Structure 1
């Protein structure tokens, strides 16, 4: 889960750098650390203990959604509502269903 959490923070920060540049009128230089962050995101996902990349990415999706809701709250100072929280929990349960079972 630590790998997924690190990957989520790296991906959200990388994507946010483009958002800041294009939507918040920040300098184009914001994309330099953003690209590094997106590279770190991709690198971190290679450490997920599963034989199939697609399964690692699918399970990561639930973690990404939870991390995005936390980003909304902690970085953008917009408190999640009950629908945000409920959706995030559903997605995290879905990620666990994908990743945790033992496969034959």
Structure 2
């Protein structure tokens, strides 16, 4: 159950960080305005709080693992929001990153 909670927090963190960055991008690069930028900044701030809810107490481990989630999540976001189609190397790379997340976060440790 703890691993399920952790995975759900990673997904929520990815939605907030990637979504926040996308909103800022839309506000600046696509000239959608300050409301989009402000919403992006709020989402990015919320991401910082969500990361603290992970059950593991080690900041470095959480952020290192989240990096892999971010890679895979960014590709998925691009597919949904921008019509991006990853090639097989994008997919392989994302799967390698997610395997790294699993090793970093969920490998048994002798505590």
TM-score band w.r.t. shorter chain: over 0.9
The 2-side partners of 1:72 and 1:34 are apart by: 16
The 2-side partners of 1:76 and 1:103 are apart by: 44
Alignment match, 2:89: 83
The 1-side partners of 2:51 and 2:57 are apart by: 12
State TM-score, norm by structure 1.
0.93
Say if 2:47 is the partner of 1:23. Answer: no
State TM-score, norm by structure 2.
0.87
CA RMSD of aligned residues (A): 1.1
Q: Mark the runs of 5 or more structure 2 residues left unpaired by the alignment.
A: 1-6
1:11-51 Cα shifts (integer Å, max 9, x gaps): 01111112112211211221111111112111111111112
**Divergent runs of 4+, >3 A:** none
1:103 is displaced (CA, Å) by 4.3
Q: Mark the runs of 5 or more structure 1 residues left unpaired by the alignment.
A: none
